[in-house]
Structure 1
């Protein structure tokens, strides 16, 4: 029997255009409202055998609002954006356009001095591959959108550039089933 990992994206904390790299803000008013609307469908996910969350304020707040008793996992941290931390993509592109182009085009590069995209995807995949397998364990992880995107790219063995084409919405769920190195994507309608 395979392990079942449900990834729940944290509630929103700002408009997508206002998001900053490696920003640790908590859920905003619109996000709290969406959590309340989605709670009837999402609360049952808390019955998972193992419950984790990204160590971000937004992920912890989302898990807490839904009544999940989660364990923060450093391995589920967002990508380390080095000196770009706290800035928007537009701000960085205005200051370092060539560095942004390099970062978007080459998954092994880290012009910001932090973690390369490929390293981030590999780290998230390593976390997936250490989940208990072959005993039917169910796992829930509340995580940032970037973490969920990285998990999908890893699980599907997609090229790293696929990461930029995956749109992960707040409070969306994705289910991965399988075992280390062999994952299947299962799309569930949650709410």
Structure 2
């Protein structure tokens, strides 16, 4: 099985360094850049419910599934704020959130809560045909926790990962019981 974790296109909120609110469109039409990933026969495409993820998925296929397990983390009261604004208002809370995967001082989800949700989405993928290729269009933070989960890395490792918009991470394995390789 081949699992492609595709970060969605950039949004204006991302470019401004703001926490997303969930309904942002892509800043630019990127379908030409995604032409090499265009879904072929035998490829299942799954998208986060977020508008930009659905839009990105539309650029690679006509039909895709929306799976809430791959939605972005809930940023709670920080939605729409820049990291700088959140840090000026709640410096100790931002510091805790950036250091502790269990922390969720914004009232939304912690990284650990997100990881549990994403693990459920990966379990769904485990039940697919092992010969099938699957593309999951999602958010950079979701890709980070999915990668940590699939490779058995500590959750703290997500703080050292960085994924750009439209970047893809490919995980492969021969059988569902096998370990993933990146």
User: Which bracket does the TM-score occupy, shorter chain normalised?
Assistant: 0.7 to 0.9
Match of 1:128 in 2: 122
Deviations 1:15-58 (A, max 9, x none): 745132233311113xx2x432x233121x34344221011111
- Give the distance between the partners of 1:68 and 1:17, measured in 2 at CA: 28
Quickly say closer, same or farther: Cα 1:46–1:135, change in 2 above 3 A. same
Q: Structure 1 stretch 4-13 or stretch 55-64: which is displaced more?
A: 4-13
Match of 1:58 in 2: 52
Match of 2:41 in 1: 47
Q: Structure 1 stretch 155-164 or stretch 130-139: which is displaced more?
A: 130-139
Does the CA-based 8 Å contact 1:176-1:185 persist in structure 2? yes
Count residues with an aligned counterpart.
179
**Can you give the 5+ residue segments of structure 1 that lack an aligned partner in the other structure?**
187-191
Quickly say closer, same or farther: Cα 1:95–1:144, change in 2 above 3 A. same
TM-score (norm 1): 0.83
- Give the distance between the partners of 1:83 and 1:182, measured in 2 at CA: 40
Deviations 1:109-149 (A, max 9, x none): 11111111111122112211222256322211111112111
Q: Structure 1 stretch 81-90 or stretch 63-72: which is displaced more?
A: 63-72
Match of 1:157 in 2: 152
Match of 1:89 in 2: 83
1:113 alignment partner, one of 107, 115, 122: 107
- Give the distance between the partners of 1:100 and 1:183, measured in 2 at CA: 34
Taking the TM superposition and a 5 Å limit, the aligned residue runs for 1:1-191 are 3-14=1-12, 16=14, 18-24=16-22, 25-29=24-28, 32=29, 34-36=30-32, 38-43=33-38, 45-131=39-125, 132=127, 135-178=130-173, 183-186=179-182
Quickly say closer, same or farther: Cα 1:133–1:182, change in 2 above 3 A. farther
Give SS of 2:35's match. helix
Quickly say closer, same or farther: Cα 1:115–1:15, change in 2 above 3 A. closer
Deviation, 1:93, is 0.3
**Can you give the 5+ residue segments of structure 2 that lack an aligned partner in the other structure?**
none
Give SS of 2:109's match. coil
